[in-house]
Amino acid sequence: MVALPPRFAAMSIARPLDPAESLFWMLDRVSSMNFAVYAEGRTVLEEQALRAALQAVQAAHPLLNVAIHLDTAEQLQFVPQAGAVGLDISHPADDGRQALARWVVQPFDLDSAPLWRVLWQRWPDGRWRLALLFHHSVADGRSGLALLLELLALAVKRQTTAPSRLAAMPLHACYPAAWQDQAGEAAAQAIKAARKAEFGPLGKPAELPGYDGHSNQALQPATHVLQLDATELDCLQHRAQAAATTVHGAICAAQLLALYGRFADGDAHTLALTSPVDLRSQLAHPLAADTPAFGVTLLTSRARVAAGLDFWTLARTLSADLKHCLQRGDGHLLYRLMPGAARLGAGEQGQLRFAELLAASPQTSLVSNVGRLALAGDYPLVLDDVGFVLFPMPNQPLFTAVTTHAGRLGLNINYDGSRWQADALAAVLRDMETWLRQACH
């Protein structure tokens, strides 16, 4: 087992990026890997108090004060560096969602700190949306949302300091011994063979009609919002439980069936779906969720979808496959099997080779579910909505970001409009909502 790195009250020295962090740095060279978490509310939020709270959380959280440098050995390093977080204030004439979408995909200067920034959208009637944007190497949805809630609490209470956090350990240093070193390499090869055998009968995922993953048109990021109210969510939970599956499985089934509906031939087709999964509960050493850090893996399932396929059978198949893969270690060992910086190098040639491999990978849509956001009983403000957005890569037709807050299930269905035929996209969004609402009744 690898030795655990020292834990710093602040990142006073550089450290190499973890394989998980460096993979997302490589992905960002191909397509924006930024993600944003946001909250919407009406509680009075004063600019001076918000700016003071931003300074407080930045001082308290180590990864909010780093840049990423590529050293002479083509290794990626987090380097402590001073830099004030940017706060953009806007007054949208509409709901502001498309402005948010365009803001999310704007790249960071990775050589400079910090690798996060803030957007505050304000409306004349007192409504606001506060969004924190992160480069995905320094945070994930769970830790990003925790920071957002801490920031808002500080701003409303007008507190100018926040408790200092220890620097989060790299994800792989927290792995159980069975997935470390030589044992991990042997396990990775075994999982690679097992997954190949499982995928073999299903074949390669089909290319979706109406979607062009190879388009070179200018990016058109957009989000379609879908919400289930408390009554619908309660029904969906009970129906999923009765079908021996999960709400996540139901959302995944709705997405795959909506995408399958674009095929007009009536034949069965193999479709792939990827679920980002938080590994914190699967680690031998704790990885804090209250400070920005990366603790996520990606699990991809394939399903043979045909006309007349039962919704709950598909949901059960998908959720069972996720559970099987997580228990087997597929998530822990993903980063050994992916052609990341360690294998290809993070220099120019490595980036080009990585982009070529990614372009040849099959299409897969994504559903990322951060689960239920439970606010403390003494949380100082009421939030109308909390959610997150991340825009898909070229081989990803949809990226659905899911949160549960105040008894409601919120889905932000993110896509690149430049790659979709408008009628095909409209049909997918309509059918996904239909499948989900039918599952609630």
Q: What DSSP character marks residue 420?
A: B
- Kindly list the distances between the CA atom of residue 142 and the CA atoms of 79, 275, 323, in Å, as whole numbers in the listed order: 23, 14, 20
Spatial CA neighbour of 253 closest among 204, 202, 321: 321
Spatial CA neighbour of 219 closest among 80, 78, 102, 76: 102
> Which are the contacts of 210, defined by CB distance < 8 A and separation ≥ 6?
262, 420, 421, 423, 424, 425
CA distance 90 to 129: 10
Token pair of 47, please? Answer: 């600019």
H/E stretch holding 77? strand 76-80
Tens-digit pLDDT string for the chain (441 aa):
334 344 444 566 799 999 999 999 999 999 999 999 999 999 999 999 999 999 999 999 999 999 999 988 888 999 999 999 999 999 999 999 999 999 999 999 988 999 999 999 999 999 999 999 999 999 999 999 999 999 999 999 999 999 999 888 999 999 999 999 899 999 999 999 999 999 999 999 999 999 999 888 899 999 999 999 999 999 999 999 999 999 999 999 999 999 999 999 999 999 999 999 999 999 999 998 899 999 999 999 999 999 999 999 999 999 999 999 999 999 999 999 998 898 899 999 999 999 999 999 999 999 999 999 888 888 999 999 999 999 999 999 999 999 999 999 999 999 999 999 999 999 999 999 999 999 998
Spatial CA neighbour of 367 closest among 335, 403, 395, 336: 403
Token pair of 329, please? Answer: 């270690």
> Which are the contacts of 249, defined by CB distance < 8 A and separation ≥ 6?
240, 315, 316, 318, 319, 322
pLDDT recorded at residue 418: 97
CA distance 404 to 367: 14
CA distance 256 to 273: 8
Q: One-letter amino acid identity for 355?
A: A
CA distance 266 to 191: 34
How many Å from the N-terminal Cα to the C-terminal Cα in the chain?
Answer: 50
Question: Exposed (0-12), middle (13-18) or buried (19+): which is 382, by Cβ within 10 Å?
Answer: exposed
Supply the DSSP string of 136-188, one letter for each residue: TTS--HHHHHHHHHHHHHHHHHT-------PPPPPGGGGS-GGGSHHHHHHHH
- Residue 48's CB: how many other CB atoms inside 10 A? 9
CA distance 83 to 76: 20
Domains of the chain with bracketed CATH:
15-157 (3.30.559.10), 174-439 (3.30.559.30)
Kindly report the backbone phi and psi dihedral angles of residue 347, in degrees, each rounded to the nearest multiple of 5, phi listed first: -75, -175
pLDDT recorded at residue 11: 61
Q: How many CA atoms lie within 13 A of 11 on its CB side?
A: 30
- Listed in order, strand segments (DSSP E) in 91-147 are 116-122, 128-135
List, in sequence order, every residue forming a beta bridge with 416; answer none if it has no partner: 221
CA distance 435 to 79: 47
Spatial CA neighbour of 268 closest among 203, 199, 363: 203
The residue with tokens 């980063």 is 335
Q: One-letter amino acid identity for 413?
A: I
The residue with tokens 């009406």 is 42
Do the beta carbons of residue 164 and residue 10 sit within 8 Å? yes
